[in-house]
Amino acid sequence: MKYMNYLIGMLMIFAGWGCSEDTIQEKKEPMVATDGGYLFAHMTDENYARLFYSVSRDAFHWETLNKKRIVLPEYCGHPDICQGKDGVYYMIGVQPNTGIPILWSSSDLVTWQSTKLKKSIFNKISDLGYKNEETYYGAPKMFYDEADGRYIITWHAGKTGKDSDTSEWKSKRTFYILTSDFKTFTEPQRLFNFTGSDEDMATIDVIIRKVGDEYCALMKDERWPEDVPEVAKTIRMAKSKHLTGPYANPGAPITSLNVWHEAPILVPTVDGKGFFLYAERYPKQYDMFEASSIDGPWTERYFQGPDARHGCIVRVNEEVYQAILKAYKK
């Protein structure tokens, strides 16, 4: 399905779709971090759902570590790393062939421990009329809210749990659960209840970040160009004063209309005064955007990205950065 989407997207380019007025591609001399850097945990198209590490001091130039080999052979899933209580890092995967969710934890991003979770924490969405595709559970993402000490886990699911046709993707909605200890979880709930022209918006790949006193949810609008040509297959953002909403309708697309994007990543710039947003131009690469404010305007940047598909980027200090290099720069 993703390859088909990509091919259709390429045909739209040749059909003359213009670039978004909100994104302008520019080259820029990047600022280089002197304390730590960025870790990009990602999969590749050739090794889908496997974990690779790439690093950068400036977020523009990336080096894939471990001789471009998998860094954690036991991991399977869509990597999304969240730093929580006591500095511990977490990510969610799945046990192949069983559909059992796996919680991974690490203090240094090098040594990971795994804990099995119950399927029911995700599968209770059946009470809401939806069904999970258990191979990857709709790419779970995680955010730790320091305000109340809880983690929110978001994922997407459709009506049938079978990702083989367009109607299933059009039915995708985002769900969430909350936990403070990864032992007890709230019941799944729908995260968004948009209105108007976005009432039927299919959403996938949602990440949540807190900027100031607002929670920002970045998502892919999974609707099709024939239905909503002005927003289809773009990255958009919705805001709320509360972690679980209500979220206002999302704003205009951040990414351009001429290329389909998904799997957004948001990180602070090196000086902490702005934001980098990366979005996967599936199936082979990421595009990069920058803004001095979370509200934009967003400028597309040239950057030397790794061979990467779905993933996340985390800012790490020098101690962690050096530990990663020691373990994987061989």
Model confidence band, residue 330 (pLDDT cutoffs 50, 70, 90): confident
- The Cα 147–Cα 128 span in angstroms is 28
Average pLDDT over residues 52-69: 98
More confident residue, 192 or 3: 192
- For β-strands 141-145 and 113-116, DSSP reports them as unpaired
Q: Please tell me the predicted confidence (pLDDT) of residue 7.
A: 45
Name the least confident of 28-32, 68-72, 142-146, 163-167: 28-32
pLDDT of residue 21: 45
pLDDT tens column, 105-161:
999 999 999 999 999 999 999 999 999 999 999 999 999 999 999 999 999 999 999
Over range 171-198, report the average pLDDT: 98
- Average pLDDT of the chain is 93
Measure the CA dihedral 206/115/121/176, to 10°.
-20
Looking at residue 17, its pLDDT comes to 35
pLDDT tens digits for range 261-300: 999 999 999 999 999 999 999 888 999 999 999 999 999 9
Other Cβ atoms less than 10 A from the Cβ of 212: the count is 7
What average pLDDT does range 218-227 have in this prediction? 98
Instruction: Give pLDDT, residue 27.
Output: 65
What is the SS3 assignment for the chain?
A: CHHHHHHHHHHHHHCCCCCCCCCCCECCCCCCCCCCEEEEEECCCCCCCCCEEEEECCCCECEECHHHCCCCCCCCCCCCCEECHHHCEEEEEEECCCCEEEEEEECCCCCCEEEECCCHHHHHHHHHCCECCCCCCCCCEEEEECCCCEEEEEEEEECCCCCCCHHHHHCCEEEEEEECCCCCCCCCEECCCCCHHHCCCCEEEEEEEEECCEEEEEEEECCCCCCCCCCCCCEEEEEECCCCCCCCCCCCCCCCCCCCCEEEEEEECCCCCCEEEEEEECCCEEEEEEECCCCCCCEEECCECCCCCCEEEEEECHHHHHHHHHHHCC
pLDDT for position 283: 84
pLDDT, mean of residues 153-172: 96
User: What residue spans define the domains of the chain?
Assistant: 2-328
Where does the pLDDT of residue 29 fall: very low under 50, low under 70, confident under 90, or very high at 90 and above?
confident
- pLDDT computed for residue 10 by the predictor: 42
Would you state the pLDDT for residue 211? 98
Across 157-166, average pLDDT: 94
pLDDT value for 87 = 95
Euclidean distance between CA atoms 217 and 37, whole angstroms: 24
pLDDT at 20: 45
To which residue do tokens 């373990």 refer? 327
pTM of the model: 0.91
Beta-sheet pairing, 150-157 with 173-179: antiparallel
Asked if 172 contacts 157 with a C-beta cutoff of 8 angstroms, the reply is yes
Q: In the prediction, which pLDDT does 67 show? A: 98
Q: What does the pLDDT average to over 314-321?
A: 98
Extract the tokens encoding 61.
Answer: 């130039």
- Per-residue confidence at 179, pLDDT binned at 50, 70, 90? very high
State the pLDDT at residue 200: 97
Greater model confidence, 17 or 259: 259
Across the range 228-240, mean pLDDT stands at 98
Calculate Rg over the CA atoms of the chain.
Answer: 19
For 83, other C-beta atoms within 10 Å of its C-beta total 17
Query: Per residue in 79-108, pLDDT tens?
Result: 999 999 889 999 999 999 999 999 999 999
Residues 143, 152: Cα–Cα separation, whole Å: 5
User: Is CATH 2.115.10 the classification given to domain 2-328?
Assistant: yes
Q: What is the pLDDT of residues 4-21, one digit of tens each?
A: 444 444 444 333 333 444
